[in-house]
Structure 1
Amino acid sequence: MLALVGVRVEVLGPLRLVVDGVPVDVPGPKRRAVLALLALAEGRVVTVDHLLDALWPSEVPESGRQALHTHVSRLRAHLGTAAARLQTGHDGYRLDVAADELDVAQARALLAKARATTDSDAYALLREAHALWRGPVLADLTDLGPIATAVEACTRLHRDVTDALIAAALASGRGGEILGLATESLAADPLREPAALLLMRALAAAGRPAEALHTAREFRTRLVDETGLDPTPALGELERDIAGGAAGPMPTRTDVLARPTTRLIGRDDEVAALHGLLAHERLVTIAGPGGVGKTSLALEVAGRREASTVLLLAPVTDPAAIPHALAAALNLNVVQGDVLTACVAVLAHRTGLLVIDNCEHLIDAVRDTVEVLLAGCADLRILATSRERLGLAAEYAFRLAPLPLPGPDQDLPDVPSVAVFLERAARARPGPAPTPAELRTVADIVRRLDGMPLAIELAAGRLSTFSLTDLHRRLDRSLDLLGGGRPTADARHRTLRATVEWSYDLLTEDERRLFRQLSVFVDGVDLETAERIGTEMGLRSDPGTALAHLVDTSMIDVAFDGATRYRMLETLRAYGLDRLAEAGEEEAAGERFVRWAVELADWIGTVLATEREPDADTVLRRELPNLRAAWLLARSRGRLDAAAAMVTALYEAMSYRDLVELRGWAEQLADDPAIAAHPKAATVLGTAAEAAYLRGDHPRTERLARAGLERATDDAGRWYCLIPLAWAELARGAYAEVIEHCLAATALARRASEALGGAALASAYAGDADEARALIERVHGGAASPSQRAWIAYVSGEIESRTGDNDIAERHYLTAIELARRSGATFLVGVATVGLLTVRAAAGRVGDALRGYREVIEYFARTGNWTHLWATLRDLAGLLRTLGDQEPAALLVAAAAAAPDAPVAVPPPPVVAGTPVLDRTDVLEVARRAIERNVHALAKDSAPTHAV
């Protein structure tokens, strides 16, 4: 087979073609456009229709196809010995170009690689990426819509590369080398806060703090004057750090509240009114029809307050999942106990605002949740958005009207509804300011759209395809507009639906089909999933191109925060689901969605067992809302095969992570009578047994595991049941049985590291350290994933801790914690931390141990993990006894001894006769006071004394 002749296409500047190392001139704008479009497709087929529409956007001439064929033929001639790279398919053309042969793909790859490597290496990679830009991108071809869109994407990529390069330079001590670049970056976009923050850090790193603070003042003034927005709290925090001489290292992430990427127009009065209401009202609901701008207004209010939490309910379809979603919004992992109670415990100590967005589809459950929050959190303010009131006595309903419409003798650009149209239109088609006649046309359009922000944005977005006159004419013809008096809210909603329908009808059939299918994803998709779904559907055109056009027409939103994500506004998703049902595709789309979830769960389960575990953990947490929706759909349709496949594939995700929801799925499925006769009965019952163990229900663990063993027909089923059975035996101190079950599981050739680790742990607890070391030695080098290596390190720490070798044990525990954190294995982080504190206390590092117990007790209490909290409180009691603090130690031991969910301690600490058994709230208070008292005493004893 002959090797392909080298070809390189460069688009990050003037279009450039290099064949076999020699630059080749490509004359003529249309021929250059064809080359650019084929290159930007990155190896995918570009249909003839797409090329024709791009080259002749107004109307394709009769000779268009022949002209296109001629351009392609001449491009082959320009390619010369590489002509075979330009291939003809049945419906279009494809340029065979690899990622390293296209500069924009090369830049993306370098950026991705830099983000996954160390600061020093990242800096070199990012400098290489930044150097790929040679000037204005495809400047002579931006009058063509698809190329203009690609140029915008290249601009965003250049910004991302520049930001990452500056950050990497600062992190690696090279701030002086990129000071000029940081200055240019802010000058290019003076209203972009990340650029201002980076320049401030660069100036501070260069020893010029006064200039850094001056940059902050200038940016704040400019932002307020030109947009009416205040900067995020990050700017003020950095100013304080610089002023105090502690700007610190570059952060690896930002926890800035999500806010609209464009300024909120025409809502200043509403924002002020809501701030006033929230000063004395505990619950305010922004009510109004879909598309009126409730979410944008709520986020704007939240963004201007010091402490705000946002709970987005659009991706949540199960009422029972609301507490879990709230816990995620609070960055709270609840392992044991009631999730909502844990959330209340956190919010009760905060003075701030909770925004709950999109309540209408879960109105009853939201009402109940809000009632609990208001009762338990005296200082909390709640701002909800919904199409209807929640129906609580404490609720103040704030009705949001559409944007004001233009009246006679008004300055049209200052009218909010017109201003929204003009801003969106400027992004869809940059150009000169509109003429007075064009402004009058815009005013008529927004009147007919009744001032609804979503309808206005959808209509303005069509200017990427039509002239303003064509838009006005088509709008007039396509919408069911209402007249005669002020319309009701329901009428406005019908107008919005007509607007969406009009935009939908302008799509190609392939784009409509893809839009309908993607509406089943409650929390959006990544590009790979969208393209895969489109391919499975048998779209005639390229799925990526169809998706891009859906973004262009505002039918789908795209976010570039970390991984690229495509989502629908909830109004549009609801419309897509309606059309899916009307087309008779609901059943097929649901089956495709469930199949996607099953395959994704299988991929996650497989990759979690490899070195790429952190990647799988990221995907799992990102896709959990979609997996949840697929799980509910599978259960509602009686898809037992799919439900069993999802649950068992996510066994490892459930075992080592505080994802309580997944454990609930497993136990729910185990309770389904139909599972008894299913081929995967043993694996499902074993997975449910693991979930029950992690919940602290050890009798149920044993019942499920033994029932699974009775039904097991293969090694996998037996393994799934033997492991949780061993953990149940471990909790009650039956070490011989633990070793027996773990060694039996080891013989089944599945995750031997976990089984042998369990046998080693039981041997150590039984007092046979030599046997424990021999067992754990058998798995060294046999664990591929970070969490499995963390498990081995944890067990090794437990072995050495039992023999009194505290230094070695501490090193093992620290290794376990680091590996577990890197892989998202939060359960292992917790148990390894408790072991670490035990050896530090035994080594005499009492202060470190007490402060560590303070943190880990608060963590377990916050997450509701009482099984491990009891073990931790028992360890703390032992430390308190060595310090002579007998009374709290006795109270902690007595409470743990009486708790049904406390693991057995061997040997059990003695319970002092007559010691009262406190409830859990009082137990925690005893522990906290004892820690603070002893920390204070240690500090006092170590303070220097002075002679008088």
Structure 2
Amino acid sequence: MGIRVEVLGPLRLVVDGVPVDVPGPKRRAVLALLALAESRVVTVEHLLNALWPAEIPESGRQALHTHVSRLRGHLGPAADRLQTRHDGYRLDLTTVELDLAQARAALRSAHKDDQDAFEVLRAAHALWRGPVLADLTDVAPIATAVEGCAQLHREVTDALVAAGIAAGRGSEVCGSAADAVAADPLREPGVLLLVRALAADGRAVEALRTAREFRRRLADETGLDPTPALDELERAIAGGTAGPAPARAEAPVRPATRLIGRAEEVVALRRLLDVERLVTVVGPGGVGKTRVALEVAGRSDGATVLLLAPVTDPAAIPHALAAALNLNVARGDVLDACVAVLAHRTGVLVIDNCEHLLDAVRDVVEVVLAGCPGLTVLATSRERLGLAAEYAFRLAPLPVPGADGDPTQVPSVAVFLDRARRARPGAAPAPAQLRTVADIVRRLDGMPLAIELAAGRLSTFTLADLHRRLDRSLDLLGGGRASADARHRTLRATVGWSYDLLPDDEQRLFRHLSVFVDGVDLDTAERIGADLGLRSDPGSVLAHLVDTSMIEVVFAGPTRYRMLETLRAYGLDRLEAAGEAEDAQRRFIRWAVELAGWVGATLRSEHEPDADAVLRRELANLRAAWRAARGRRSFEDAAVIVSALFDTLYRDLVEIRGWAEELAGDPAIATHPRAGAVLGAAAEAAYMRADPPRAEELARAGLERAGDDAATWSCHLALAWVALTRAAHVQVVEHCLAAAALDVRRSEGFAGAALATAYAGDPDGARALNEKARAAAVSPSMRAFVAYVGGEIESRAGDNDRAERHYVTAIELARASGATFYVGVATVGLLTVRASAGRVADALRGYREVIGYFERTGSWTHLWATLRDLAGLLRTLGDDEPAALLLAAAAAAPDAPAAVPPPPLVPGTPVLDRREVLDVARRAVARHLQTTAKDSSRTHAV
């Protein structure tokens, strides 16, 4: 019996071609939640929490059961489609039976088939019938899904317009492009498509006018300029050379080299991922697990790839996942933030190289599977993760040639020949040479990495020489009957053989570079070579290591030299065998100490963006060196790293803040001369994670132990920010001026004093202090802080125009320098002045984004301040009830900053929990955005 559920508009159920009315908001919400799960099980707990977010009544489970039972009645002959499982319910829908799945499938199909893309996308675009589930957006998971549908609608519209232009049907998509721009006038990709569509329709003058209007609108509303793409398009249109929209870029997860001999495995894995939540590709090192997983990811829509090879600290896995998601988590639980982002996604999360972090990966995967019902996980590991939901897919070595048949058709031989052509281009091998190749790959047991390493040596040896050396150098098990562990030893023997062929200098450099978990740049490699006293030029030694495939070079971005993980593990073993492990670790920690010192000094200069880029690029290595220093109980090295990286605390690199607090709790701090600097950094870190009492405790202890001006400066500033949360403005000024009196970084002290002076109601005094700060500011982030303080001063003085200019400047400088904390606080100030200036729609959109950001990063101190500002805007709009709820919750929150003057509270207003508060805020923002959009439409109509 055919059924269809439509969610891209008002909720609609059709059974056997006949529309069926589903009465009651709770029952309609249950149907919507089951449909949005797209044939996955929705747990009873999820449904209960969605229907009754404040408190589940005692009769909640029975009421839910009743709603499900009556939904089966609505389904009639198709009642068996609504299935009861042990932990929830599942509505079985095919792709064509759910308009959302149909739209998503059409978008995928259009990306793969350019010929029919336009018609496919036009049909998909027509699936939207009006506001999506408008009567159900008070249910939080549905509201989140509605945002996802809006994003999908933008993607379908963009793809439709691009396909129409490419098909020569620009006139048919101009209306859709114009509607998309009207809905989001500041989204540049939509504007570019509209301009292209107008030009393709022969309306070049109108196209250029649209581009100019966008440029002016963007400058007026954000203070920003468009990307160079708009300049290029305008020139092309003016010159009559504008072509169709550029093709959609392919997801950058598929490796550049061709995958040979794994087609069946890739197909099998894709089928498994359709029915299993967790699949782990298991097998020995070097068998090709990573390569196969990346191929699956490259053929999947919405794939996220988490590479764990550079990660050595189990606690860093959530941070690595956040980086893979391009998610900046400045505060709060990092894994929770990742799950919040993934919770409503479908697709594949690939987690590669799990074996060295097995317990921690198991815990992370368990949390992801529980919190992300639409996501499947594809892991690679030398052993199973050990979860009940896991399906283990064992990847065997490549088939090797037998006595008969054409060896070129055997995958292991094909891999060898393909890689050999790259090492030594030339004529196809003769039959006798093919027999030699067949023997080589048999002796290498079909292991892809071993085969690639052997083929790479053809840059140095003839095939016959390679074969002879292979016989002498490797202890191989013959006949292809070796166990998995034996094959692993075979691979290590292959690596050992490649290593043994290196000259002494190359072996030494290879060994000592293996301590770097995420590769090195050229300067670092050459410095280590020079420190080792190599007889040859270190650059030449490194180049030959690249030629022999012992090190790979990556040219995307700054040139980087990395080892395959198996090779790096072998290098570490060789360090131990040579008795050099201790020396290599000391050198590695010294490198980290020197790098931290350079980063810290450069962050305080005009070259701050360069230091920020290096810091982020070297974070995995710094993390490993930090752990090495802690493992060796080298408090001195750890203290130097933490104090040098003080300025990173204003960035989204949360784990570095954790280092400071960890070190502050080390008993060795009691007698260490750097105690004051460590405690000052830890105090700043505690403040940034919204724990003012702990920050004050650490800062006061640091002042007692401070051994130099830098330590004293950091402790005074931490105490100033703690006082600021209490609105103790006199104390803020005292601590900031005490910091400014020291010969460290005077700009921050003066700016902090200016901020408190402005809050105390003295704008002239604040301006004078901020001018001193401006004169002393050097780095972009300090200039951003000064600009932010200028915005706060002028905002409180009532000059919104000047305040907005200051805020925009602060955001631009902070974003360019990587100081994400200043981006956040300046954005809140900018929204306040825009709201005061009557630009309500802009402010509402901004609040929607910044609330989401602060929620994801766990920054509730700043989130409470943001919600108070939003409450003020809601009151000006006459929406008193949600405003009262937001203010009451902020007044009761222990981590909310003091408000001066305290906003008026409505007696008897209930204090909502945090989830309820955010629901209230989001619903209010959505409601008023809808109202302003309608008002705007009526104005245009008149």
TM-score interval, normalised by the smaller of the two chains = 0.7 to 0.9
- The 3 A distance-change label for structure 1 pair 648 and 936 is same
Structure 1, unaligned runs of 5 or more? 1-203, 214-236
Structure 2 equivalent of residue 407 of structure 1: 402
Q: Deviations over 1:218-261 (max 9, x none)?
A: xxxxxxxxxxxxxxxxxxx999997897986789x988423222
Deviations 1:258-316 (A, max 9, x none): 32221100000000000000001000000000000000000000011110111111111
- Match for residue 821 of structure 2 among 822, 827, 849: 827
Equivalence for 2:626:
631
Closer, same or farther: CA 787–677 of 1 in aligned 2, 3 Å: same
Of 590, 593, 599, the residue aligned with 1:604 is 599
Distance 1:906-1:254 versus aligned 2 partners, 3 A rule: farther
1:891: which partner in 2? 885
Q: Is 2:808 the partner of 1:808?
A: no
Letter of the aligned partner of 1:395 in structure 2? E
**Residue in structure 1 matched with residue 656 of structure 2 by the alignment:** 662
Q: Does 1:879 align with 2:873?
A: yes
Aligned length: 719
Q: Structure 1 residues 579-588 or 255-264, which shifts more? A: 255-264
CA distance in 2, matches of 1:607, 1:315: 25
For the pair 1:292 / 2:259, whether they are aligned, the reply is no
Q: Distance in 2 between matches of 1:559 and 1:336?
A: 32
Are positions 1:702 and 2:696 aligned together?
Answer: yes
Counterparts of 1:598 and 1:267 in 2: how far apart (Å)? 45
Query: For the residues of structure 2 that align with 1:330 and 1:364, how far apart are their CA atoms?
Result: 22
1:528 paired with 2:528, answer no
Deviations 1:850-895 (A, max 9, x none): 1110111111112222111111011000100111111111111111
- How far apart, CA to CA, are the structure 1 residues paired with 2:814 and 2:260? 46
Deviation, 1:943, is: 2.6
Q: C-alpha distance in 2, partners of 1:624/1:757?
A: 30
CA distance in 2, matches of 1:361, 1:353: 22
- Pick closer, same or farther for the CA change 1:569–1:946 going to 2, 3 Å: closer
Aligned residue in 1 for 2:851? 857
Which residue of structure 2 lines up, in the alignment, with residue 847 of structure 1? 841
Of 579, 583, 602 in structure 1, the residue corresponding to residue 578 of structure 2 is 583
Secondary structure in structure 2 of the residue aligned to 1:780: helix
Equivalent residue for 2:536? 541
What aligned pairs does 1:720-799 form with structure 2 within 5 A after superposition? 720-799=714-793
Match of 1:359 in 2: 354
Q: Is the 8 A contact 1:334 1:863 kept in 2?
A: yes
2:458 pairs with 1:463: yes
Match of 2:181 in 1: none
Q: How big is the alpha-carbon RMSD for the aligned residues of Structure 1 and Structure 2?
A: 2.4
In structure 1, give the amino acid aligned to 2:870.
L
CA distance in 2, matches of 1:239, 1:281: 39
Q: Within 1, Cα distance between the matches of 2:567 and 2:194?
A: 43
Question: Which residue in 2 is equivalent to 1:564?
Answer: 559
- 1:341-356 superposed matches below 5 A: 341-356=336-351
The amino acid of 2:691's aligned partner reads D
1:903, distance to aligned residue in structure 2 (A): 1.1
Structure 2 residue aligned with 1:264? 259
Cα distance in 2 for residues equivalent to 1:503 and 1:829? 50
User: 1:368 — aligned with what?
Assistant: 363
**Partner in structure 1 of residue 707 of structure 2:** 713
Distance 2:448 2:195 in 1: 40
State the alpha-carbon separation in 1 of the partners of residues 520 and 168 from structure 2: 43
SS of residue matched to 2:633: coil
**Retained in 1: the 8 A contact 2:674–2:707?**
no
SS of the equivalent of 2:290 reads helix
Q: Determine the C-alpha separation between the residues in 2 that align with 1:621 and 1:249.
A: 31
Taking structure 1 as reference, are residues 744 and 626 closer, same or farther at Cα in structure 2, changes over 3 Å only?
Answer: same
CA contact 1:241–1:248 (8 Å) conserved in 2:
no
Q: Which runs of 5+ in 2 are unaligned?
A: 1-160, 171-190, 201-228, 233-245
Residues 1:212 and 1:248: Cα distance change in structure 2 (over 3 Å): farther
Q: 1:291 is paired with a residue of what secondary structure? A: coil
**Structure 1 residue 415 displacement after superposition:** 1.3
How far has the Cα of 1:910 moved from its partner? 2.1
Alpha-carbon distance in structure 2 between the residues aligned to 1:540 and 1:376: 56
Partners in 2 of 1:884 and 1:917 — Cα distance?
Answer: 21
Residue 410 of structure 1 deviates from its aligned partner by: 2.1
For residues 20-62 of structure 1, the C-alpha deviation after alignment (integer angstroms, 9 at most, x for no partner) is xxxxxxxxxxxxxxxxxxxxxxxxxxxxxxxxxxxxxxxxxxx
SS of the aligned residue for 1:522 comes to coil
Partner of 1:58: none
Cα 1:249–1:866 shift into 2, 3 Å: farther
Residue by residue, what CA displacement relative to the aligned partner does 1:737-773 show, whole Å, maximum 9, x if unpaired?
1101111111102111111000000000000111000
For residue 279 of structure 1, give the secondary structure of its aligned residue in structure 2. helix
Task: For 1:924, give the aligned amino acid.
Answer: L
Residue 536 of structure 1 aligns to a residue whose secondary structure is: helix
Residue of structure 1 equivalent to 2:495:
500
CA contact (8 A) 2:165 2:196 kept: no
Cα deviation, residue 431, structure 1? 1.1
Distance in 2 between residues matched to 1:557 and 1:905, nearest whole Å: 56
Q: Which residue of 2 aligns with 1:187?
A: none
How many Å separate the matches in 2 of 1:382 and 1:240?
38
Letter matched to residue 699 of structure 1: P
CA distance in 1, matches of 2:576, 2:231: 53
Aligned with residue 831 of structure 2, among 821, 827, 837? 837
1:209 deviates by 6.0
* Amino acid aligned to 1:554: S
Q: Give me the whole-angstrom Cα distance separating, in 1, the residues matched to 2:588 and 2:836.
A: 54
Contact kept, 8 Å, 2:442 with 2:480, in 1: the verdict is no
TM-score (norm 2): 0.74
Code of the aligned partner of 1:891: L
Which residue identity does 2:509 align to in structure 1?
L
| Aligned AA (2:289) | K
Instruction: After superposing the two structures, state which structure 1 stretch, 909-918 or 516-525, moved more.
Output: 909-918
Q: Flag the 1:492–1:922 CA change in 2: closer, same or farther, 3 A.
A: same
Q: Deviations over 1:581-623 (max 9, x none)?
A: 1111110000000000000000000111111111100000010
Counterparts of 1:762 and 1:806 in 2: how far apart (Å)?
19
Whole-angstrom distance in 2 between the partners of 1:266 and 1:212: 42
User: Following TM superposition, by how much is the alpha carbon of 1:574 offset from its aligned partner in structure 2, in angstroms?
Assistant: 0.8
1:303 aligns with 2:298: yes
Asked whether the 8 Å contact 1:693–1:728 carries over to 2, the reply is yes
Partner letter of residue 399 of structure 2? P
Residues 334 and 865 in structure 1, CA contact (< 8 A), matched pair in contact too: no
SS of match in other structure, 2:575: helix
- Corresponding letter in the other structure for 1:587: E
Asked whether 1:688 is paired with 2:677, we answer no
The question of whether the paired residues in 2 share the 8 Å contact of 1:881 and 1:889 is answered with yes
Q: What are the Cα deviations for residues 134-163 of structure 1, in whole angstroms up to 9, with x where unaligned?
A: xxxxxxxxxxxxxxxxxxxxxxxxxxxxxx
Which residue matches 1:920? 914
User: Using a 3 Å threshold, how does the CA distance of structure 1 residues 767 and 925 change in structure 2: closer, same or farther?
Assistant: same
* CA pair 239-469 structure 1, distance change in 2 beyond 3 A: farther
Are positions 1:931 and 2:938 aligned together?
no
Partner letter of residue 789 of structure 2?
A: V
Q: Deviations over 1:483-528 (max 9, x none)?
A: 2461110111111011000000000111111111111000010111
CA distance in 2, matches of 1:434, 1:855: 61
Change (3 A) 1:592 1:241: farther
What is the TM-score normalised by the length of structure 1? 0.74
Which amino acid letter does the alignment assign opposite residue 832 of structure 1? A
